[in-house]
Amino acid sequence: MSYYKHHVFFCTNLREDGTACCQKFDAQAMRDYAKQRTKELGIAGPGQCRINTAGCLDRCAEGPVIVVYPDETWYTYVDQEDIDEIIEEHLVNGRPVERLKI
């Protein structure tokens, strides 16, 4: 059994050379929002969800990315509403958000 039901990694990499990277999409702010939101919902902590920062996940060309383990589900997102949908549907209800999967 996994220590966390869902372990979510947000790529927050910044590439100084101007090439595509997640931080250009305000990835750190989205990660901070998701961490706070899971705490507000009472789903953060051992046996539940953990939101983490990751370095480059090497899928930069697909927009900002997150990956949810142990489900091995990769997502992209545009805004806070997408993050809310991932939290509500996947992390709370256990249903991956098909429209955001990559």
pLDDT for position 61: 84
Residue 1 lies in a domain: no
Residue 27 lies in a domain: yes
pLDDT for position 72: 96
**CATH code assigned at 52:** 3.40.30.10
**Contacts of residue 101, Cβ cutoff 8 Å, sequence gap at least 6:** 73, 74, 75
Residue 31 lies in a domain: yes
Strand, helix or coil for residue 46 = coil
Per-residue pLDDT reduced to its tens digit, 35-51: 999 999 999 999 999 99
Between β-strands 6-11 and 49-54, what pairing exists: parallel, antiparallel or unpaired? Answer: parallel
Between β-strands 73-76 and 65-69, what pairing exists: parallel, antiparallel or unpaired? Answer: antiparallel
Residue 82 lies in a domain: yes
Q: Which of 72, 76, 29, 20 is nearest to 53 (CA)?
A: 29
> Whole-prediction pTM value?
0.94
Instruction: Look up the domain containing 80 and give its range.
Output: 6-100
Per-residue pLDDT reduced to its tens digit, 23-34: 989 999 999 999
**Contacts of residue 1, Cβ cutoff 8 Å, sequence gap at least 6:** none
Instruction: Give the separation between CA 16 and CA 67, rounded to whole angstroms.
Output: 23
Residue 35 lies in a domain: yes
Residue 52 lies in a domain: yes
Cβ proximity of 86 and 97 under 8 Å:
yes
Residue 69 lies in a domain: yes
Please report, in tens digits, the pLDDT of each residue of the chain (102 residues total): 679 999 999 999 998 888 889 998 999 999 999 999 999 999 999 999 999 999 999 998 888 999 999 999 999 999 999 999 999 999 999 999 999 999
Question: How many domains, in total, are found in the chain?
Answer: 1
